[in-house]
Structure 1
Amino acid sequence: MKNKTVIITGASTGIGKAIAAYFIERGSNVVMNSSNEENLKRTYLELGSPSNAFYIAGDISKQDTGQQLIQLAKEKFNSVDVLINNAGVFAPKPFLDVQEEDLELYWNVNLKGTYFTTQAAISEMIKQQNGSVINIGTVLVDHAIDGFPATAPLTSKGAIHSLTRQLAAEFGKNNIKVNTIAPGIIRSPLQEKMGIKKADDLAGLHLLNRIGEVNEIAEAAYYLASSGFITGETINVAGGHTVGHAI
């Protein structure tokens, strides 16, 4: 992946920040995006203001933001090799309490953001006849939990899982790989935003009896980005969350 150009949305905190750091350290050219410019700039400085990275703030639910990311990648690094659709929002809310604005938020940021940014990236990847798109989903699409009602965000994430398979089918002939990473419970600022005060208390949901770390998602993203023969797959990085239970 050295000198390959990688675009990462939601790169200012948590999983996205870890992915950006992982690729930057290994010599990839990275374009970082977040809706919060202040946080994005702070992260860029924390990473040492690397010469092989640039950042641009913008709301990915707006179609022109994805186009701006592609334009910056081409302008600075001359290619668009990998897109990692990490940006998203997620929070629990009982089904009967969900309002229209809740659905609009999740579908705009999670699904439309992924959709539009991928449209812009694949348009360029077709010219190159090569590329990799990595979406971030969730194990909860295939493994629902009674005590964690999250139908609103899950409908958008489920759509992303389906989008992954269809895009893999549509653009395989162009040597464009499209995959999803479905994390389990990961130690990140997202947990606190969702009201989970101690994420380690959820370790028992995983057969490995621990929660995941952000670098473990970064490792998976790097593997998929560098693989030439994996497409249309959903890779669960979840410590056994989806395959069984400890009793």
Structure 2
Amino acid sequence: MSIANKVAIVTGASQGIGAGLVKAFRDRGYRVIANSRSIKPSNDPDILTVAGDIADRAVAERIVREGVAKFGRIDTLVNNAGIFTAKPFTAFTAEDYAANIGVNLTGFFNITQAAVAEMEKQGSGHVVSITTSLVDHPVDGVPSVLASLTKGGLNAATKSLAIEYAKRGIRANAVSPGVIKTPMHPPETHGFLAALHPVARMGEISDIVDAVLYLDSAGFVTGEILHVDGGQSAGH
């Protein structure tokens, strides 16, 4: 199939990594279904925007249903939407827990289940989830229990999906970033955050976009957790 006919879903698509992914997929000729809670309609006829919270199953199902109705298929799903709440473990509230579980796990489950059901019909597809290197390399001074609980679950689910669907033409991979320079990190924190990585800089949005595009084109790669973290997971 030509890339011009391929269709990608990107969640968390209104800014940061998600917006970078939408642009990169369009630059490659993909048609894109872009979702976030507050995403605005696009002037590009090959971008379908669907606003809403993927923790709501009806929203996740609508993303896939409207995407198939407009473009006819789903080839790639990028689970980019996520919440990171940095608090000491005992300071987490029930609301913090519910919000992280809702987007990071329930949202993943809802949209991935709906997308994979469509991929099964065509006998091909690819799921990429954005997780975090903090799962396997926690950092002193960066409290991350809820991130590890939820994103660690996505790493494990990625491997399970990869094996369950390997013979059905559907691949599953994850990109595990270090700290990426996005609007969520104020400039005054950049020095501290850069020092968390052995390469002594923060990651750029383009670093993650390049990793996702690599995985999407790498037909013999499935079940991979690709660390894009400036050496953070390798050690200090």
- Shorter-chain TM range is over 0.9
2:105 to 75, 89, 111: 111
1:71 to 65, 68, 71: 65
Partner Cα distance (1:31, 1:199) in 2? 32
* Structure 2 match to 1:11: 13
The 3-state SS of whatever aligns with 1:7 is: strand
Please tell me whether residue 221 in structure 1 is matched to residue 212 in structure 2.
yes
Partner Cα distance (2:37, 2:16) in 1? 14
* Structure 2 match to 1:188: 182
* Structure 1 match to 2:200: 209
1:40-189 to 2 correspondences below 5 Å: 40-41=39-40, 44=42, 49-189=43-183
Q: Counterpart of 2:158 in structure 1: which amino acid?
A: T
Shift of 1:207: 2.2
Identical aligned pairs, as a percentage?
40
Superposed structure 1 runs of 4+ greater than 4 Å apart: none
Alignment deviations for residues 117-154 of structure 1 (CA, whole Å, 9 cap, x no partner): 00000001111110000001000000001201121232
Partner Cα distance (2:99, 2:221) in 1? 31
- Equivalences, count: 234
Stretches of structure 2 lacking an aligned partner (at least 5 in a row)? none
Q: Counterpart of 1:234 in structure 2: which amino acid?
A: I
Q: Counterpart of 2:79 in structure 1: which amino acid?
A: N
Q: Counterpart of 1:41 in structure 2: which amino acid?
A: K
Shift of 1:67: 1.1
Alignment deviations for residues 10-55 of structure 1 (CA, whole Å, 9 cap, x no partner): 000111010111111111100000011xxx227x4xxxx2222110
Please tell me whether residue 237 in structure 1 is matched to residue 236 in structure 2.
no
CA contact 1:103–1:153 (8 Å) conserved in 2: no
Shift of 1:198: 2.6
Shift of 1:102: 1.6
Shift of 1:244: 2.4
* Structure 2 match to 1:198: 189
CA contact 1:185–1:199 (8 Å) conserved in 2: no
Partner Cα distance (2:35, 2:191) in 1? 29
CA contact 2:12–2:80 (8 Å) conserved in 1: yes
Q: Counterpart of 2:206 in structure 1: which amino acid?
A: N
CA contact 1:19–1:218 (8 Å) conserved in 2: yes
Stretches of structure 1 lacking an aligned partner (at least 5 in a row)? none
> How much is the aligned-residue C-alpha RMSD, in angstroms?
1.4
CA contact 1:85–1:114 (8 Å) conserved in 2: yes
CA contact 2:20–2:206 (8 Å) conserved in 1: yes
Alignment deviations for residues 146-202 of structure 1 (CA, whole Å, 9 cap, x no partner): 20112123211111111111111111111100011011110001224xxx7332432
CA contact 1:24–1:50 (8 Å) conserved in 2: no
Q: Could you tell me the TM-score, scaled by structure 2's length?
A: 0.95
